[in-house]
Amino acid sequence: MGALPLEQEIEYPTSDGQPMAETTLHRKVMNDLIGGLELRYAGVPDVWVGGNLFLCYERGNPAAIVAPDVLLAKGVTKWDRPNYLLWEETIPSLVVEVTSRKTRREDQGKKKLLYERLGIEELVLFDPYGEYLRPRLQGYRLSWGRYQSVAPEKDGSLLSQTTSLRFEPEGERLRLVDAGTGEPLLWPEEIDAARRKEAAARRREAAARKAAEARAAAAEARAAEEAAARRETEDRLQALTRELERLRKA
C-alpha cells in the first residue's frame, strides 16, 4: 500500500475550466446574490460570501469537491480565497443554487445530499426560468441533521434564518429584502443608477449654489454701486447747500 502524499504536496483545485453559469440570466442572479450579500455583510469582519468556487470537503482528497453557486460562511476572515477548504474553515451557513433543468439532478440530488451531510444549515434553490421547480423558489433547513422543506410565505418568498433576509422572486431574478425593515437590497444596476442620480443631484446642488453665490455677488455689487451713487448725490447736495449759504451771506 502506497504512502499518502504529504499535505504540502496536495494541490486542491481552484477551477474546472467550465463556465460559471448555465446562462447569462443564471450568472446575473448569482452576481445579484453574491453582491447583495457582500454589501449586507461589508461591515461584519467574520462573515464571508463567495460563489462559483470549489468547496473542498475532505482533507487529503482533492477530488472531494463541490462548487456552490453562492455560499455564506460565518466565523471566518474576509480574504480572496481561491477555494474553500472545509477543514480550515467553518461549515457554511447558507448555500444557494441557481438551478436549471440541465443541473436539476445534481442540484436536487448529489449536492443537496452532500450539503445535508456536511451540515450546511440552509439551502435555497432558485429556478429563474421556472423550467422544472414548482414553485421555482424552494428552501431547506437542517433539523436533526436532515433537510426539511421551508414553508414559503404567501407571496412566494422564503425567510432565511441565517441572514434575516427574505428571498423574493421578482421577474426572472431574485430579490433580497431585509426582513426587519422591509428594505430591498439593490441590484448592481440599481446601485449604479442611484449613484448616478446622487452625483447628478450633487452637480445640480453645486450649480444652484454657484448661481446663488453669483446672484448674491451681483446684488452686493449693485448695492455698493447704489450706495456710492447715493453718497455722490448727497455730496453734491451738501456742496450746493454750502454754495447757497455763501451766496446769501455775500
Handedness of CA 140, 143, 145, 148 (dihedral sign): negative
Say if residue 19's pLDDT is above 90: no
Reported confidence tier of residue 14, pLDDT bands at 50, 70, 90: confident
Task: Report how far residue 245's alpha carbon sits from residue 247's, in angstroms, rounded to the nearest whole number.
Answer: 5
Q: Going by C-beta distance under 8 Å and a sequence separation of 6 or more, which residues neighbour residue 108?
A: 99, 125
Neighbours of 69 (CB within 10 A): 25
**What is the predicted pLDDT for the residue at 17?**
55
pLDDT tens track for 104-136: 999 999 999 999 999 999 999 999 999 999 999
Work out the pLDDT band at 227, boundaries 50, 70, 90. Answer: confident
Percent of the chain with pLDDT over 70: 94
Contact 186, 180 (CB under 8 A): no
Report CA-CA distances (Å) from 93 to 64, 72, 90, 115, 163: 19, 6, 9, 10, 9
Quick one: pLDDT at residue 206?
85
The answer for residues whose C-beta is within 8 angstroms of residue 93's C-beta and 6 or more apart is 72, 73, 74, 120, 121, 122, 162, 163
Q: How many CB atoms lie within 10 A of CB 67?
A: 20
For 8-185, CATH number out of 3.90.1570.10, 3.40.50.720, 1.10.3470.10, 3.40.190.10 equals: 3.90.1570.10
Helix and strand numbers, DSSP H then E, in the chain: 4, 12
pTM over 0.95: no
Q: Which residue has the cell 468556487?
A: 53
Mean pLDDT over 214-221 rounds to 88
Banded pLDDT at 1 (limits 50, 70, 90): very low
Of 138 and 228, the structure prediction assigns the larger pLDDT to 138
On whether the CB atoms of residues 121 and 141 are closer than 8 A, the answer is yes
